[in-house]
């Protein structure tokens, strides 16, 4: 039986690949945790944090889990325009998205903090975007 983490990982990849604009913006370079050595930029990484139960005190609702999901955009463009365009494409693909995962009623996405960074020593634009994947059991 697949773990919830693997289900989420696969669902996020499928959702990104299904969004033609996002997929084209990164040239299909969408990697889990790390990019291969010498990967062409721009590329997009994604990773998962620790899944935890989501509780609502005194509210009758199906059990749910909350999993932090991190997107990291890397661009070596001279300006921030390329990375900001990819950032907007991620928003379009994942803001309030409802994604199907096996064994769950669904998974909703909620955007969290974002951190834009220009790494002067490497000349890279790096934007970190946090989402919360909320999976509700059947």
Q: How confident is the model at residue 94 (pLDDT cuts 50, 70, 90)?
A: very high
Q: How confident is the model at residue 137 (pLDDT cuts 50, 70, 90)?
A: confident
CATH match of 4-51+63-112+121-131 with 3.30.2000: yes
Residue 42 has pLDDT above 90, yes or no: yes
Q: What is the mean pLDDT of the chain?
A: 91
pTM: 0.90
Q: How confident is the model at residue 85 (pLDDT cuts 50, 70, 90)?
A: very high
Buried b (16+ CB within 10 A) or exposed e, 64-82: bbbbebebbbbbeeeeeeb
Distances in Å between the Cα of 35 and the Cα atoms of 3, 27, 38, 44, 86 are 23, 13, 8, 8, 17
Q: What tokens appear for 131 in the block?
A: 């989402």
Residue 63 has pLDDT above 90, yes or no: no
What does the pLDDT read at residue 64? 82
What does the pLDDT read at residue 79? 93
What does the pLDDT read at residue 99? 92
Can you give the residue ranges of every domain in the chain?
Answer: 4-51+63-112+121-131
């Amino acid at each position: 039986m697949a773990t919830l983490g693997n289900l989420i990982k696969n669902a996020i990849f499928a959702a990104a690949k299904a969004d033609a604009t996002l997929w084209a913006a990164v040239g299909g370079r969408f990697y889990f945790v790390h990019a291969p050595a010498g990967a062409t930029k721009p590329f997009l990484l994604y990773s998962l944090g620790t899944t935890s139960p989501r509780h609502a005190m005194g509210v009758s609702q199906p059990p749910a889990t909350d999993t932090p999901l991190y997107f990291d955009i890397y661009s070596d463009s001279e300006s921030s325009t390329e990375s900001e365009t990819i950032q907007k494409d991620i928003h379009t693909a994942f803001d309030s998205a409802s994604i199907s995962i096996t064994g769950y009623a669904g998974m909703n996405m909620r955007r969290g903090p974002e951190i834009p960074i220009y790494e002067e020593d490497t000349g890279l634009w790096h934007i970190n975007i946090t989402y919360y994947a909320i999976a509700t059991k059947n």
